[in-house]
């Protein structure tokens, strides 16, 4: 468990690193714990010049966690489509891995903001690659995520998304042999259940807690688990826990319509985050996982 108390030596180190990075004399005046770090401790750093958002976790428990997050934010930023917080600094002090981001003062998730987010996500999904996957592996929440490249989405989704989660669940006795066999049946059917598309840059963990709106109404994506994937995956995740309005979907589909029947495939793509929740939080997610598999057999 990461402490919510930051030592004077750590704060001194951060001040020096921020000074070096920004080429300004930075002095941290206050480090206040805040919500929003998800699996990490989170702080608002108040300095003599500005505020920052910092995430803190164990370097040994989650190696390269924040390097990968920073690279994911940069991949989205380079599309020039949807905003992300500026990644100012990442590193480690003893076993404290940290990521310092620009502070975003949050505002209301208005109709206009959700419309803009839908349009901007559609524009981001037009940024494509020749293969599904990514240049490096990363994390989905606190679990490692493989991004080995494939030419077909079905192969990528089976080999780099479903199978690792199914194997982990089986190893933890969260899935029985019979239930694992259901996934084997699904793998055989998967290519006929959807239409292949060119790989699109996807956020990869797009639930309602992973976007912000600032006080000017500008939307931001946060906490990415990026890869080049099927864009239906991002839209499916938006339906899993709510948090996205009809304005968002209308704007997205006007800008970049999805293939007919995408709503019926949402439960298929959501098997991956549901398996992740099964592995992280236990058997309460098992009925939803099995019901979703059976929908496609």
- Just list the catalytic residues: 205
Sole residue written with tokens 């006795």: 173
289 alpha carbon, distance to own chain's centre = 20
* Pairing relationship of beta strands 200-202 and 227-229 according to DSSP bridges: antiparallel
Any idea which residue has 């891995």 for tokens? 97
**What CA–CA distance (Å, rounded) separates 59 from 135?**
22
Q: Where are the alpha helices (DSSP H) in 39-194?
A: 65-77, 111-125, 153-156, 163-171, 177-189
Q: How far is CA 226 from CA 73, 124, 215, in A?
A: 8, 12, 26
Q: In the chain, what is the straight-line distance between the N-terminal and C-terminal CA atoms, in Å?
A: 41
Spatial separation of the C-alpha atoms in residues 111 and 244, rounded to whole Å: 10
What residues contact residue 7 under an 8 Å CB cut-off, 6+ apart?
Answer: none
Residue with tokens 């059917």: 189
C-alpha 120/C-alpha 106 separation (Å) is 18
DSSP 161: I
Structure tokens at 100: 């310092």
Question: Which one-letter DSSP state was computed for residue 258?
Answer: P
The answer for 14, left when phi > 0, alpha when psi is -120 to 50, beta otherwise, is: alpha
The residue assigned the tokens 């589909």 is: 253
């Amino acid at each position: 468990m990461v402490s919510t108390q930051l030592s004077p030596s750590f704060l001194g180190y951060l001040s020096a690193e921020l000074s070096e990075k920004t080429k300004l004399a930075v002095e941290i005046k206050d480090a206040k714990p805040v919500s929003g770090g998800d699996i990490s401790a989170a702080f608002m750093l108040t300095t003599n010049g500005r505020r920052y958002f910092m995430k803190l976790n164990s370097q040994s428990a989650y190696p390269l966690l924040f390097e990968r997050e920073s690279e994911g934010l940069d991949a989205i930023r380079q599309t020039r489509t949807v905003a992300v917080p500026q990644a100012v600094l990442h590193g480690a002090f003893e076993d404290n891995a940290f990521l310092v981001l620009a502070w975003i003062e949050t505002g209301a998730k208005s109709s206009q903001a959700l419309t803009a987010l839908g349009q901007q996500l559609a524009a981001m999904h037009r940024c494509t690659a020749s293969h599904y996957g990514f240049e490096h592996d990363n994390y989905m929440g606190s679990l490692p995520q493989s991004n080995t490249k494939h030419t077909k989405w079905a192969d990528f989704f089976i080999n780099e998304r479903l199978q690792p989660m199914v194997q982990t669940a089986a190893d933890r006795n969260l899935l029985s042999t019979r239930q694992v066999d259901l996934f084997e049946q699904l793998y055989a059917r998967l290519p006929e259940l959807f239409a292949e598309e060119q790989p699109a840059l996807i956020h990869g963990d797009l639930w309602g807690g992973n976007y912000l709106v600032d006080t000017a109404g500008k939307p931001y994506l946060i906490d990415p688990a990026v890869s080049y994937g099927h864009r239906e995956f991002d839209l499916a995740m938006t339906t899993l826990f709510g948090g996205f309005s009809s304005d968002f979907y209308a704007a997205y589909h006007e800008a970049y319509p999805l293939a007919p029947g995408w709503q019926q495939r949402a439960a298929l793509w959501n098997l991956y985050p549901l398996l992740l929740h099964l592995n992280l939080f236990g058997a309460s997610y098992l009925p939803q996982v099995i019901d979703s598999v059976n929908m496609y057999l």
